[in-house]
Chains A and B, each alone.
Chain A
């Protein structure tokens, strides 16, 4: 039960509604974070297409210091294992909150595969495999992000709408329960 005066109460209501609106905006922004990662990956793939033609090749002394590249078969095997485990993990976590760090980690792994293939001189042949793998994993991550945060935004919008309805309903009554003095959540 609110014991504050009417102007204070109106201020609290406005703050609470503004907070809900900010929450909705945050959810909406995060809902498209996966798409940004996907766009970043597409940009990276564009740069990698044809063996990073826009970048200078590795100097011979650096190449000598790094040594021989791993066998292409092993890199491909690692790609299959990584794709399989990433897909299983992403599918298992559908419906739970996705972390942005996880998305960047996937981007990092995929960049690593591009670089390893490039170092082994086999990027041209294996470009499509890494590209398809990245598209699948980051596409799934984007879907998970969009699906989860859109649902959160929708739920918060409904809470906001309910709060506004309550405010307008109780606005003329004095001493009634405050519209936001409740823990009630929509299902």
Chain B
């Protein structure tokens, strides 16, 4: 039967396990790389946001609203920037890359805001990784938004548009970046890993099957055919190529068959002689 064949019993489990293990390792590797890329993107975006805050710092200090608006508009025109806005502590949008947003209130229960505003007191200090949040916008696009609080500094509270020194946060810069480039990179990585995985699979399964076939299965099939020949009385010496052990088994078969034939020949010779001998019982009597 099929399941009893040595080729099936040897190859199926090995091929299946090789495939499974390579797939598991590739999936875990992809997840790890995805996590690393995600962290790198968040860190990069956080640095970018910090750069924007520093670049606009002087304009804010001098209360140069035109210059600030111009900078925000220029950033908002970038293709990968979904939104860029600065809102004050009350959530009123003061500057935005989208002109219609200016003067409106941000929704604190919005997917991008609820992270910090879930509790009774909003979080005021966030680590670099906590400043990032991922959500899908109304168009269904994946967005990574970074918030950078604009902290009250001594220079701010001492300048002409002085803020109260006790006020910790003056406002928040919120930049939303499209995750499409990251998704595209991950898609490319996924496809390449799949190709790599398939190549590894073909190579490892092919090599295992080939080696098993060449060194184990084929010699055993030849040995089986040779033993059939020997059983049928064809005692030619083994001529097939195989490993030393299989060849030794074949030579032993051949040796046993030769011994069997020699005994048969001797029996053929002895039988007439034994037949001519006087009966032992007669002799005794």
Q: Does any Cβ of A come within 8 Å of B198's Cβ?
A: no
Q: Taking the nearest CB of chain A, how far is it from the CB of B212, in angstroms?
A: 13
Beta-carbon contacts under 8 Å, B1-32 to A: 1, 3-4, 9, 12-14, 16-17, 19-21, 23-25, 27-28, 31-32
Chain B residues whose CB sits within 8 angstroms of the CB of A79 once the complex forms: 24, 28
Q: Taking the nearest CB of chain B, how far is it from the CB of A139, in angstroms?
A: 6
Chain A residue, CB-CB nearest to B1: A154
B16, B27, B35: the one within 8 Å of A139 (CB): B16
Q: Does any Cβ of A come within 8 Å of B213's Cβ?
A: no
Tell me how many residues of A have a C-beta within 8 Å of chain B.
30
Q: Does any Cβ of A come within 8 Å of B34's Cβ?
A: yes
Chain B residues whose CB sits within 8 angstroms of the CB of A126 once the complex forms: 27-28, 31
Chain B residue, CB-CB nearest to A124: B31
A87, A132, A151: the one within 8 Å of B3 (CB): A151
User: Is A143 a contact of B31 with CB atoms below 8 Å?
Assistant: no
Q: Does any Cβ of B come within 8 Å of A118's Cβ?
A: no
Chain A residues whose CB sits within 8 angstroms of the CB of B17 once the complex forms: 87, 90-91, 136, 140
Using A91-B13, A150-B3 as known contacts, say yes or no to A136 and B31 having CB atoms under 8 A apart. Answer: no
Q: Does any Cβ of B come within 8 Å of A128's Cβ?
A: yes
Using A147-B9, A150-B3, A151-B4 as known contacts, say yes or no to A91 and B20 having CB atoms under 8 A apart. Answer: no
Q: Does any Cβ of B come within 8 Å of A145's Cβ?
A: no
User: Is B28 a contact of A87 with CB atoms below 8 Å?
Assistant: no
Please measure, in the bound complex, the distance between the C-alpha atom of A91 and the C-alpha atom of B21, giving whole angstroms: 13
Chain A residues whose CB sits within 8 angstroms of the CB of B27 once the complex forms: 126, 128-129, 132
User: Is B21 a contact of A136 with CB atoms below 8 Å?
Assistant: yes
Q: Taking the nearest CB of chain B, how far is it from the CB of A28, in angstroms?
A: 14
Please measure, in the bound complex, the distance between the C-alpha atom of A69 and the C-alpha atom of B9, giving whole angstroms: 42
Chain B contact residues: helix, strand, loop or mixed? helix
User: Is A94 a contact of B13 with CB atoms below 8 Å?
Assistant: yes
User: Is A76 a contact of B32 with CB atoms below 8 Å?
Assistant: yes
Q: Taking the nearest CB of chain A, how far is it from the CB of B220, in angstroms?
A: 16
Beta-carbon contacts under 8 Å, A144-186 to B: 144, 147, 150-151, 154
Among B4, B23, B28, max chain A CB count under 10 A is at: B28
Among A72, A76, A95, max chain B CB count under 10 A is at: A76
Chain A residues whose CB sits within 8 angstroms of the CB of B28 once the complex forms: 76, 79-80, 126, 129
Q: Taking the nearest CB of chain A, how far is it from the CB of B224, in angstroms?
A: 15
Chain B residues whose CB sits within 8 angstroms of the CB of A72 once the complex forms: 35
Given contacts A73-B32, A133-B24, 20 further A-B contacts (CB under 8 A): A72-B35, A76-B32, A79-B24, A80-B25, A80-B28, A83-B24, A90-B13, A90-B17, A94-B9, A122-B31, A125-B31, A129-B24, A133-B20, A136-B17, A140-B20, A143-B12, A147-B3, A147-B9, A150-B3, A154-B1
Q: List 25 A-B contacts (CB under 8 A).
A: A79-B28, A80-B25, A83-B20, A83-B24, A87-B21, A90-B17, A91-B14, A91-B17, A94-B9, A94-B13, A95-B9, A122-B31, A125-B35, A126-B31, A129-B24, A129-B27, A129-B28, A132-B20, A133-B20, A136-B16, A136-B21, A143-B13, A144-B13, A147-B9, A151-B4
Residues of A within 8 A of B (CB): 72-73, 76, 79-80, 83-84, 87, 90-91, 94-95, 122, 125-126, 128-129, 132-133, 135-137, 139-140, 143-144, 147, 150-151, 154
Residues of B within 8 A of A (CB): 1, 3-4, 9, 12-14, 16-17, 19-21, 23-25, 27-28, 31-32, 34-35
